[in-house]
Amino acid sequence: MLSLTEIDKSFGTTHAVKAVTLDAHPGAVLGLAGENGAGKSTLIKMVSGAISPGGGRMTLDGKPIAPRDTNDAITQGISGVFQELTLVGALSVEQNLFLTAAPTNVLGMIDRRRLRAMAKEVLARHALGIDPAARVSDLPLGSRQMIEIVRAIERKPRVLLLDEATSALGAKEVEWLAERIETLRRQGVIVLFISHRWDEVVHFCDRVAILRNGALVAVSDIDALTEHEAVRLMTGQDSVESAFPEKQPPRDDQLLVARELSSPALRNVSVELRRGEILGLGGLVGQGQSALLEGLFGAHALTSGTIVVAGKTFDAPSPRRAIAAGLAYVPQERKTEGLLLSKSVAVNMTLAVLQHLKSRFGILDLAAEATSSRAAIAARQIRTQGPGEIVANLSGGNQQKVLLQKWLATNPSILLLNDVTRGVDVGTKRQIYALIADLARGGVGVIWYSTDARELVGLVHRVLVMLEGAVNAELEGDAITVDRIVHAAVVGSGARHAR
């Protein structure tokens, strides 16, 4: 088995993991749960060789292990999948699958015919209908995540580390992963599984270890722990409020009307959004939801269609024009599309409003930037050492709060959200839910794409379920249920409108 004894890690003055002792047995799935910053990912990264422990020891099958890096860990039978994908976007699927093990001919050159055949065999064995010649950067995030998972499994690991590996996957893709994990169970592979979705922890795991502020606070068989008790252990709070705020009815006046939007990823999509309305986008991953949000924001080229914002036609949409018209877009991939990781919290928070922070000589007023950032840090309850801290050092949930604040600083009238709670802990999710509900009550219109159907049920007034780039069904009010969303996501010619 895999044994961790008194594993410890600090980053400067931050004690990220505090003397954690934990065992994981062959053929079992051990869940790691806790809020962002609890130490889950740090613990996983120490096992994977990505970072070195500050103290303690690790053994696998009774033998000491101390991987120098992730490649060394792979040779010792430890393979990981993390939120930050390691695929090379400019290369094809087949090249990524065999990045370090491509077949060669007698001249030492890559044998492309064999590479294609090997890739097809691997994709078929894992039930992935993805073109092996497709460029990875052209694929939706969920498909890229599945390729990363397949690559890790194909290394034949003794230990598989899954750190938020489901965060970009929809319900159908999660079931695909469940089938892969069940096969690994039968082979005696040890799986460490991190997810902020408690239903997935219950579905996948035999036991769960709960961390809080770097310390291990409980280890339990999954059947012996309720979600309420798990959240109490994660947060340290005795009372747990309802996850979703009460829905308030939207107003009658329309903020946005889009008609017959088309592009290579969209097929005649029409959208209406009222002031104070939270409109949900559902469906399987990669069915045009991101393209729709980016098209409204001017970041995805439309071939036809019209967009009217607050009664004015939005011609030749571009991000600059969208911002001027009162739109803000929070992208799905915060680390590659939303934040400058090497820059400070203050820099990231003020990127979209620099024109308001200039002195009369046109130079950035650093004092005003710091003052504005400190106020936002307090308002959004961001855990940071201050406005000058580098964003890369923050937990995922706090990075997401910084990204949200970056766009809220523009005072938008329309907020476009692309799966913004992906990889975010339960406490931060509830803060985001409450924030968006407050914005809607203040008259902001919100279009929210989520891979979690339960979020749509709990938060939105209407849901447009997309399939193959088109709206397959519209659900409203009591008709918004997980079953109806999932059914419309996979069955063609869904109910056009259900109340």
Q: Bridge partners of 23?
A: 3
Q: Is the pLDDT of residue 59 over 90?
A: yes
Q: Is the pLDDT of residue 498 over 90?
A: no
Task: Read off the pLDDT band of 242 (50, 70, 90).
Answer: low
Q: Is the pLDDT of residue 315 over 90?
A: no
Whole-number Å distance between alpha carbons of 64 and 53:
13
Instruction: Report DSSP letters for 324-389, one per residue.
Output: HTTEEEE-S-IIIII--TTSBHHHHHHGGGGGGGB-TTS-B-HHHHHHHHHHHHHHHT---S-TTS
Instruction: Say what the pLDDT of residue 82 is.
Output: 85
Q: What is the mean pLDDT of residues 36-49?
A: 88
Which amino acid appears at position 180 of this protein?
R
Task: Read off the pLDDT band of 276 (50, 70, 90).
Answer: very high
Instruction: Report DSSP letters for 80-117, one per residue.
Output: EE-SS----TTSBHHHHHTTT---B-TTSSB-HHHHHH
Contact of 400 with 424, CB cutoff 8 Å: yes
**Fold identical between 2-235 and 254-326+412-490?**
yes
Instruction: Say what the pLDDT of residue 482 is.
Output: 86
Q: Where are the domains of the chain?
A: 2-235, 254-326+412-490
Q: Is the pLDDT of residue 83 over 80?
A: no
Whole-number Å distance between alpha carbons of 81 and 206:
20
Q: Is the pLDDT of residue 430 over 90?
A: no
Task: Read off the pLDDT band of 29 (50, 70, 90).
Answer: very high
Q: Is the pLDDT of residue 306 over 90?
A: yes
Q: What is the mean pLDDT of residues 66-82?
A: 91
Q: Is the pLDDT of residue 443 over 90?
A: yes
Instruction: Say what the pLDDT of residue 238 is.
Output: 61
The CATH class, in words, for 2-235 is alpha beta
The CATH class, in words, for 254-326+412-490 is alpha beta
Query: Does residue 164 sit in helix, strand or coil?
Result: coil
Instruction: Say what the pLDDT of residue 499 is.
Output: 63
For residues 402 and 238, the model is more confident at 402
Instruction: Say what the pLDDT of residue 241 is.
Output: 52
Task: Read off the pLDDT band of 496 (50, 70, 90).
Answer: low
How do residues 413-423 score in pLDDT, each as one tens digit? Answer: 999 999 998 87
Instruction: Say what the pLDDT of residue 188 is.
Output: 94
Instruction: Say what the pLDDT of residue 101 is.
Output: 82
Q: Is the pLDDT of residue 286 over 90?
A: no
Q: Is the pLDDT of residue 3 over 90?
A: yes
Query: Among 122-126, 271-275, 365-369, whose mean pLDDT is lowest?
Result: 365-369
Instruction: Report DSSP letters for 177-203, one per residue.
Output: HHHHHHHHHHTT-EEEEE-S-HHHHHH
Q: What is the mean pLDDT of residues 144-150?
A: 93
Residues of the chain above pLDDT 90, percent:
56
- What token pair was written down for 416? 């476009």
Cβ-in-10-Å burial (0-12, 13-18, 19+) of 59 comes to: middle
306 phi and psi angles, rounded to 5 deg = -130, 150
Q: Is the pLDDT of residue 366 over 60?
A: yes
